[in-house]
Structure 1
Amino acid sequence: MMMEEEEDRAESAGSSCPSVRSDGSKDHNPDFSGEPGPTRVDQQSSEVPSGQSAQQHQTQLDSIFMLLEDNIITFVKNELKKIQKVLSADYPECLESQRSSSREAFVKITVDFLRRLKQEELADRLQSKLPAAVCHRNLKSTLKKKFQCVFEGIAKAGNPTLLNQIYTELYITEGGTAEVNDEHEVRQIETASRKPDRPETTIRQEDIFKASPGRDEPIRTVLTKGVAGIGKTVLTQKYSLDWAEDKANQDIQFIFPFTFRELNVLKEEKFSLVGLVHHFFTETKEAGICSFEDF
């Protein structure tokens, strides 16, 4: 089986498996646009108008910030009361009231302060109740049910067998010629005789998205090639199952496996990527996740 890395695009007859990795280096600025309007403050310019003394301007600025402080303190007190209820034992699993971006940002800040206070258990409990965390758990549960069994013989008509019991490690090589075979993945003799564009090296299935030593850029796209029936589809199923069972690649926050068979059914319809994710993985829509840029 041949595996190639491509930076921008890839065509494949197998399964597509987008993943979302965590990126702790991003700045997540709280968005309070969804909050009820604070106590009204008459609009005043932050610039010093001509003829107005600096002292008068400073007095106005002090007044604005005193009112701003009162509004923020009121917001914090109200949200802390909600969070205290969330941490009680009889509260529902999902933090329904935290779906607005401002409240979710505040919960993340609270988690950070709890960790600074060495209250790791409370921080973990609070974080586990965020909609994204609940979605993460539900998605893993869905993928386990979907991929833990495969059918021997005719799909959905044969005998179900545990994938982990029958999976055989494939001999995967990294490298090869940067071409897509258009003859149902059967490599012709003349194609096989061509020299690869770079030396081939073996790679484990759980490492297919991990960059090679000395490579700075992350791997964005992986193209698998091989004889039909060699196990490319099962490879993506095993990759997804290992993630769902917490066995590998836990730095990835979400994995969304699509098959081209499923996508072809929708070829007459128009979907954004988020729309496709919502369509096939309803856990994300239920959690109110409409963007994956923060993950």
Structure 2
Amino acid sequence: MDRLDIKLWNLASKGQIVPDRSLLKTPEQIAEIRKSADLNTAVLDHVAAHIKAGMSTAEIDKLVYDFTTEHGGIPAPLNYEGFPKSVCTSINNVICHGIPSEDEILQDGDIINVDVSTILNGYYSDASRMFAIGNLDERSEKIMRVTKECVELGLKAAKPWGHLGDIAHAINSHAQANGYSVVEEIGGHGIGLEFHEEPFVSYVTKKGTEMVLVPGMMFTIEPMINEGTPEFFVDEDNGWTVYTLDDGLSAQIEYMVLVTEKGVEVLTK
């Protein structure tokens, strides 16, 4: 055993949940994943430069596909478990997994989550941003602002040798303090060598619980903040799109992070 193995064994013997060594990325893997993450950020910047009222979500999908492939990457969502497009576009009461369509036109006052995931040379990255289309009312502006605050507070709470539950507590507490709820059944995930790896990252668990944050871990912080109930339903026709049960607004922002010896680094957002 090396020193890390001993430390993990000691933590596990005390009842702590520790990651398998396979979840800890090597310096060589991290270097390659950074390249994927840089492209992922560039794709989101490209969307940010072009998104506007009057465009269809299918046009966003084309922006993502063209930019990604022109720079040597592959959109990770495309054909993933049957998903038909290169990006998820989730508007207003859509929590996640919205499918781009030529018939879905962005309107003034909409809020939209654009979730971009990239494969570059076999390595994966993932992040999403919320975009305000035109002029927002106070209701829409607030849920976007609070969602951003939740992610930043979750990031601040994430520390090496802390716990995933520390992130969840910071996020859920702030959401509830502002009158919102956090979706429970859908959360973040490990990433890097695969699109979705362990661990599942909940945003409703208690501080000091869940997996220990060990240097080398890589995962997403992506809470889904609902205006009303956290309950949802999935579109029966396409099997993907997740809607709020009460038709309230939902917002989500996703960071992909790396736990280091000194802290937690954002790789793409």
TM range (shorter): under 0.3
- The TM-score normalised by the length of structure 1 is 0.22
Bigger proportion of residues as strand: 2
Bigger proportion of residues as helix: 1
Q: Indicate the structure whose relative CO is greater, using CA pairs within 8 Å and at least 6 residues apart.
A: 1
